């Protein structure tokens, strides 16, 4: 098997090129550190089967961050046919040091100058022939985002693979600092890159005057995030209602008649357990799609780097930096990749503290529960404000945790941040991100959901001669044991059972509620609206937001930190905070007469 290694500095469009070449679903984002693991895909190129490996972004071969070490270990241990280096054509003065380092590895290489369209707009001209002469490898201009030059890149890759059919091991002895590179860089830039003496004022510069304003920047950020939740609720809920109607129609017209002759217990398992439980969770697919489409706009536009800059001063008060804030935003999708994204941090203490706060992010699994309960209990006019308040609460809990633990995990690592140009995402990219999120949800949560709803059904129906979900069932006995813990929070016995299954995966909570109450979709929403007042509902949502992250998150945190102590803190500290916050809110609201 022939192998290509894809390298590049962060924010050069490397993963976008990977997806263009392979059609794979690599995570793409306009922020350093998105690619934090070795992603690989196989393609047919020039009649040969090629494995394309997408490596984490690096600034040089001598860095100390985890992702830079990953690249170095790969180059030292894995032979390749070809190194494909992706550079940002508009920042050549900072980019050309890396190909000079890689040239010394004695591995065949081609250099791809991405974002050629942006370079042209600011007047940057590049002499590719001179670059080819000095670097002794092919150099091609392209735009991975818009697909410009991709076919020529494919042709060049096929030709180079044909010229270099044997795997080559990098010379690890030369992966050392070279004092001559800086001098070579100055000479190469002066000979091959023409940059205007004064760059024209760009749209990014004008917009940044507002986005990075010391007083207006943060209000603009939170206003934009509030708008995101307005869009998610305004577009996602009608689509969810349509899917609920479709599933309800299938249940009445097809499923119920099909199982009419089955034993009652089996009917209950299939209809009330599997169909209602899984079907209720599936209705969140439209909301997940809309949410990730909106977040893709925020992320790929380059705005998250600006948010990190704005938040850095505040985060430093809690022993963190602006990158920790961005990782929290990444956690809105899923906590797992956000925790892996902390590899861009060199300080182990900063990584550990950041990993502790990420699980407080309002991830897509928690968002499902919150949206469902909010739609059931709160009015449409109040719903976006309720969701936004929980979003803010997630940051409050993260800051509180960081403040409590910052002395134990103290770090002085400075924030070095490159501010990318503001860009408009393509519809192709937005559609891909939305579809990727929904597909990932089905693949990652599907097994958990099915197992979870079946287990909940069994607990709420055994013994089979008891009234479902009554005090005589296994769930009833379990709820009685939990009642002293959850009653002071306004969370009733049946809701507490659903929360228990949230320890496994938060996606199970809504499916569990559907099974526990024996109804799904609109019927479950109506039932919750009748059983809960707004104080009980908000207390339940606070607990859901804050308490222990899912098993997958804890497992990845342990894997990344290599610390059982940190994993234990991540389990028990949020559980304690969830109980205290919900208790304080519920008892305080009742004392005020609500």
**pLDDT tens figures, 58-102:** 888 877 677 778 888 888 888 999 999 999 998 898 899 999 989
Residue 138 has pLDDT above 90, yes or no: yes
Tell me: do 392 and 485 sit in the same domain: yes
Contact 483, 496 (CB under 8 A): yes
184, 258: one domain: no
Cα 82 to chain centroid distance, Å, stands at 30
Q: Is residue 65 part of a domain?
A: yes
One domain, residues 322 and 181 = no
Assigned domain for 313 exists: yes
Examine residue 419 and state whether it is found in any structural domain, yes or no. Answer: no
Which helix H or strand E contains 74, and what residues bound it?
Answer: helix 66-77
CA-nearest of 360, 377, 367 to 287 is 367
Q: In sequence order, which residues have a C-beta less than 8 Å from that of residue 296 and are 6 or more positions away?
A: 425, 429, 430, 433, 434
d(CA 433, CA 196): 36
- For the cut 50, the answer to whether the pLDDT of residue 173 exceeds it is yes
Give the whole-angstrom CA distance, residue 223 versus residue 475.
43
Q: Would you state the structure tokens that stand for residue 471, as one six-digit string? A: 């005090």
244, 437 Cβ separation under 8 angstroms: no
Domain closes at, from 135, 159, 194: 194
560 shares a domain with 479: yes
Domain annotation covers residue 118:
yes
Contact present, 231 and 287 (Cβ < 8 Å): no
In angstroms and rounded to an integer, the radius of gyration of the C-alpha atoms of the chain is 27
Q: Same structural domain for residues 175 and 39?
A: yes
49-63, 203-217, 219-233, 308-322: segment of lowest average pLDDT: 219-233
Do residue 173 and residue 260 come from a single domain? Answer: no
| Tokens of residue 578, six digits | 């969830």
> Domain boundary at 194, 210, 226, which?
194
Return the SS3 of 148.
Answer: strand
Cα separation, 327 vs 582, whole angstroms: 26
CB atoms within 10 A of CB 587: 15
Mean pLDDT rounded to a whole number for the chain? 85
pLDDT at 345: 79
Rounded-to-integer distance, Cα 542 and Cα 534, Å:
12
Sheet hosting strand 109-114, strand order edge to edge: 39-45, 48-54, 2-8, 82-88, 109-114, 139-141
For residue 15, the domain's CATH number is 3.40.50.300
269-286 average pLDDT score: 79
Average pLDDT of the segment spanning 173-192: 75
Range of the domain at 228: 218-414+427-591
Note whether 240 and 174 are same-domain residues. Answer: no
Would you say residue 394 lies in a domain? Answer: yes
Structure tokens at 284: 């969140």
- 563 and 519 share one domain: yes
Calculate ∠ Cα 352-577-384, nearest 5°.
100
pLDDT at 34 over 50: no
What sign has the CA pseudo-torsion 366, 369, 372, 375?
negative
| Alpha helices, DSSP H, located in 413-473 | 427-461
More confident residue, 507 or 246: 246
- Inside any domain, residue 16: yes
Assigned domain for 311 exists: yes
Determine the Cα–Cα distance for residues 98 and 327; give it in Å rounded to an integer: 26
Are both 390 and 475 inside the same structural domain? yes
Cα of first residue to Cα of last residue in the chain, in angstroms, is 68
| pTM for this entry | 0.70
Q: Give tens-digit pLDDT for 563-577.
A: 999 999 999 999 999
Count of structural domains, the chain: 2
The answer to whether 421 and 302 have CB atoms below 8 angstroms apart is: yes
- Among the candidates 194, 226, 257, a domain finishes at 194
Contacts of 116 (CB under 8 A, 6+ apart): 89, 141, 142, 143, 148, 149
Q: Are residues 187 and 293 in the same domain?
A: no
Burial annotation 254-288 (CB, 10 A radius, 16+ → b, else e): ebeeebeeeeeeebbbbbbbbbbbbbbbbbbbbbb
Residue 100 in tokens: 């000079």
Averaged over 345-362, what is the pLDDT? 90
Over residues 546-555, the pLDDT tens digits come to: 999 887 788 8
Distance, in Å, from the CA atom of 375 to the CA atom of 391, rounded to the nearest integer, reads: 16
Q: Are residues 138 and 238 in the same domain?
A: no
> At 62, phi and psi to the nearest 5?
-120, 15
Residues 521-555 have pLDDT tens digits of 678 888 899 999 999 999 999 999 999 988 778 88
- C-alpha 444/C-alpha 364 separation (Å) is 12
46, 78: one domain: yes
For residue 223, is it within any domain?
A: yes
Residues 362 and 332 sit within 8 Å (Cβ to Cβ): yes
| 11 dihedral zone (left: phi>0; alpha: psi -120 to 50; beta) | left
| Torsion sign, CA atoms 123, 151, 12, 170 | negative
């Amino acid at each position: 098997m022939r192998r290509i290694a894809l390298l590049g500095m962060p924010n050069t469009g490397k993963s976008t090129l990977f997806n263009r070449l392979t059609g794979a679903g690599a995570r793409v984002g306009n922020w350093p550190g998105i690619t934090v693991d070795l992603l690989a895909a196989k393609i047919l190129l020039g009649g040969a089967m090629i494995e394309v490996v997408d490596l984490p972004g690096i600034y040089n071969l001598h860095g100390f961050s985890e992702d830079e070490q990953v690249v170095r270990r790969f180059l030292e241990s894995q032979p390749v046919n070809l190194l494909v280096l992706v550079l940002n054509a508009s920042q050549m003065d900072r980019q050309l040091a890396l190909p000079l380092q890689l040239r010394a590895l004695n591995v065949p290489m081609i250099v791809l100058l991405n974002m050629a369209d942006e370079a042209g707009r600011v007047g940057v001209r590049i002499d590719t022939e001179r670059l080819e002469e000095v670097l002794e490898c092919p150099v091609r201009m392209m735009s991975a985002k818009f697909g410009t030059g991709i076919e020529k890149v494919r042709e060049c890759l096929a030709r180079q693979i044909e010229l270099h059919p044997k795997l080559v091991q990098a010379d690890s002895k030369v992966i050392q600092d070279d004092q001559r590179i800086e001098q070579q860089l100055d000479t190469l830039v002066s000979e091959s890159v023409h940059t205007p003496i004064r760059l024209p004022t760009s749209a990014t510069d004008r917009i940044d005057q507002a986005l990075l304003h010391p007083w207006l920047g943060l209000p603009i950020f939170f206003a934009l995030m509030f708008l995101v939740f307005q869009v998610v609720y305004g577009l996602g809920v009608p689509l969810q209602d349509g899917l609920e109607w479709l599933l309800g129609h299938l249940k009445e017209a097809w499923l119920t008649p099909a199982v009419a002759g089955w034993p009652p217990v089996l009917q209950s398992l299939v209809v009330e357990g599997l169909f209602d439980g899984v079907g209720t969770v599936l209705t969140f697919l439209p909301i997940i799609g809309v949410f990730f489409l909106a977040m893709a706009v925020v992320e790929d536009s380059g705005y998250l780097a600006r948010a990190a800059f704005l938040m850095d001063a505040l985060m430093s008060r809690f022993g963190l930096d602006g990158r920790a804030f961005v990782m929290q935003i990444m956690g809105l999708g899923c906590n797992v990749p956000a925790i892996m994204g902390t590899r861009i941090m060199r300080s182990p203490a900063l990584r550990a503290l950041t990993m502790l706060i990420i699980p407080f992010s309002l991830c897509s699994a928690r968002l499902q529960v919150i949206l469902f309960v909010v739609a059931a209990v709160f009015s449409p006019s109040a719903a976006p404000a309720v969701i936004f308040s929980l979003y803010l609460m997630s940051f409050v809990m993260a800051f509180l945790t960081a403040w409590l633990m910052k002395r134990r995990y103290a770090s002085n690592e400075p924030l070095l941040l490159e501010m990318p140009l503001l860009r408009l995402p393509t519809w192709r990219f937005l559609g891909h991100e939305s579809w990727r999120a929904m597909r990932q949800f089905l693949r990652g949560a599907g097994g958990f959901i099915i197992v979870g709803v079946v287990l909940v059904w069994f607990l709420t129906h055994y013994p089979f001669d008891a009234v479902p979900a009554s005090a005589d069932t296994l769930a009833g006995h379990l709820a009685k044991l939990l009642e002293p813990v959850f009653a002071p929070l306004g969370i009733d016995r049946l809701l507490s059972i659903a929360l228990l299954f949230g320890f496994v995966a938060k996606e199970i909570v809504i499916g569990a509620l559907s099974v526990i109450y024996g109804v799904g979709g609109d019927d479950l929403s109506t039932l919750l609206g009748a059983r809960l007042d707004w104080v009980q509902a908000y207390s339940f949502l606070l607990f859901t937001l804050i308490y222990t992250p899912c098993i997958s998150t804890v497992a990845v945190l342990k894997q990344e930190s290599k610390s059982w102590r940190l994993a234990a803190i991540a389990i028990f500290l949020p559980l304690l905070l969830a109980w205290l916050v919900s208790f304080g809110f519920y008892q305080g609201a009742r004392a005020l007469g609500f």
